[in-house]
Amino acid sequence: MKTNTIPHPRPAWRPLVAATVFVSGLASALWSADAGSKPAWLSDLSVTAAQSYNSNVYGAEVSVPGFDPVADVESWVTTLSPKVTFDLKSALGIGDDAAISAFKVGYAGDYAFYWDDDAEDESHERHTITFALKTKSGAWSTTWDNAFLWVDGSESTPRYLRNSAYGNAMARERREQFQDRAKFGIRYDDEQWFLRAVGNLLHYDLHTDHHVATGAYRGWQNFIDRHDANIGLDFGYKVQKDWAMTFGYRYGGQHQGRMAWDARSNSSTYHRLLVGVEGKLAPWLKADLTIGSDFRRYTADVRGINEKNHTWLHTEGSLTADLSKEDSLSLTHKVWHWVSSTGLTAYRDSTYLLTYRHKFSSAFSASVGARASGSDYDAPATRKDWLFGGSLGVKYDFSKQLSLTADYVYVDTHNRLDEVIYPDRDFDQNLFTVAVRWAL
């Protein structure tokens, strides 16, 4: 149980100092190494330095009177991002004829420093440890992937008077926490069909303080722990050599933590039935799509949602079209039910992304994207927020070791409820980033 301690400001210079020490050593290795000298056991060694401008750090249009401002706070952000990936298959001397086809572990860091006085508590460090293992022996194959994230950030939270679900989510991702994303698959292939056992985990362990959001803690954001985990089976029928129809089942559950002063929780178990398609539908079109239903039972005695049993839509996947050697178009989406990060309720989480990429030459490329996301909360909660955005990016490779990128992202959020009754939940944001990447 998190205690009601008085929040202490986190020194904003810590990420910059830590990054300087880490990146200095990495840069020395890059500088002293000759091009092409990377050993076989080293898959990736790089560092990226980025300078950004964020026009609305907290995603808010109003502040709580008497507390630090969050409305339209803008800041320059400096981020240093080292990355290293080790190829353990090569390091252990495992040959190409072995059952292990890939075995890698890696580290990726983001050391972010916010320069504005009203945003200095947003300075943070992100440390991600990755693991990937693939095996293949005859008709059997396996995949194991895990990404464990530690965010070294503030344990206090911004104070919001009224906000969009997407505003406090931006601040939440910079708070002290652990996250884990894991998945595995074990597959048997026949000439006409395949059978696959799968498992997935999404886990958030938040380490921010909890307070009743009144008086001295008015506007406080109480972020809770939550997770979703499932296991299941897929049967795939190979309609053609390169693509298959799939029929799947998942058994899983979601957990939502409680506040010390409120017993409501939306923890649940579910049975999910899915139908999908995966593979190359054409030489230029790749698909990985599923759609189905969650038959959900909310297990808590004191719930934030009305009724115990619900049936929800679940669909996710991607389509990628290689329009030419220089052009590609991708569409990804996910619609599912998830528990709220501030407790008490649950919501339908929808995300749609469209990205077009073009290569002008072997060195110069560009992309343009569009995004729509929705957070439709279940009764009795009264919140229906949508986010619409666009992005534009360019990249130039000076060499195999050195590249430059420039990106612009625009976000515009909308409250779909009556603005008179539920005001000040909208905001917009402009984010400009220029980055240089140096790789061995």
Query: pLDDT per residue over 71-119, tens digit each?
Result: 999 999 999 999 999 999 999 999 988 999 999 999 999 999 999 999 9
Which H or E run contains 196? strand 193-206
CA distance 303 to 264: 5
Domain, as residue range, for 59: 14-439
Q: Phi/psi of residue 19, each to 5°?
A: -65, -40
End-to-end alpha carbon distance in the chain: 45
Residue at 401 is within a domain: yes
Residue 7 lies in a domain: no
Structural domain includes residue 4: no
**φ/ψ (deg, to 5) at 95:** -80, 170
279 assigned to some structural domain: yes
For residue 8, being part of any structural domain is answered with: no
C-alpha dist (Å) from residue 152 to 25, 112, 203, 341: 21, 11, 17, 18
Q: Is residue 372 within 8 Å of residue 388, measured between CB atoms?
A: yes
Question: For residue 350, what are its two tokens?
Answer: 């929808």
| pLDDT value, residue 185 | 98
Give the residues of the chain that fall short of pLDDT 70. 1-36
Looking at the domain assignment, is residue 385 inside a domain? yes
Q: How far is CA 242 from CA 208, 285, 368, in A?
A: 48, 11, 29
Say how far residue 233 (Cα) sits from the centre of its chain: 25
Question: What is the pLDDT, as a whole number, of residue 4?
Answer: 38
- What total of structural domains would you count in the chain? 1
Q: Is 11 helix (H, G, I), strand (E, B) or coil?
A: coil
CA 355/CA 312 separation, integer angstroms: 28
Q: What residue has token string 């091009």?
A: 35
In the prediction, which pLDDT does 16 show? Answer: 56
- Residue type (1 letter), 252: G
**Would you give the DSSP letter of residue 154?**
B
β-pair partners for 312: 294
pTM, two decimals, is: 0.91
> Using alpha carbons only, what angle is made at residue 404 by residues 400 and 410, rounded to the nearest 5 degrees?
140
The answer to whether the CB of 42 falls within 8 A of the CB of 440 is: yes
- Residue 361's identity, in one-letter code, is S
Task: Supply φ then ψ for residue 350, to 5 degrees.
Answer: -125, 135
Backbone angles phi, psi at 29, to 5 degrees: -65, -40
Does residue 9 sit within a domain? Answer: no
Domain-embedded: residue 3 = no
Give, as one character, the DSSP assignment of residue 259: B
Question: Could you give the CA distance from residue 249 to residue 135 in angstroms, rounded to a whole number?
Answer: 24
DSSP states of 269-320: EEEEEEEEEEEEEETTEEEEEEEEEEEEEE--SS-SSSSSEEEEEEEEEEEE
Supply the DSSP symbol for 89.
Answer: H
Question: For residue 31, what are the contacts with CB-CB under 8 A and spacing of at least 6?
Answer: none
CATH code (residue 210): 2.40.160
Task: Give, for 73, the enclosing helix (H) or strand (E).
Answer: none
Q: Distances from the Cα of 379 to the Cαs of 75, 82, 253, in angstroms? A: 37, 44, 20
The β-bridge relationship of strands 124-137 and 140-152 is antiparallel
Name 277's bridge partners.
245, 289
Q: Please write the tens of the pLDDT for every residue from 398-420.
A: 999 999 999 999 999 999 888 77
**Per-residue tokens: 261:** 């002063």
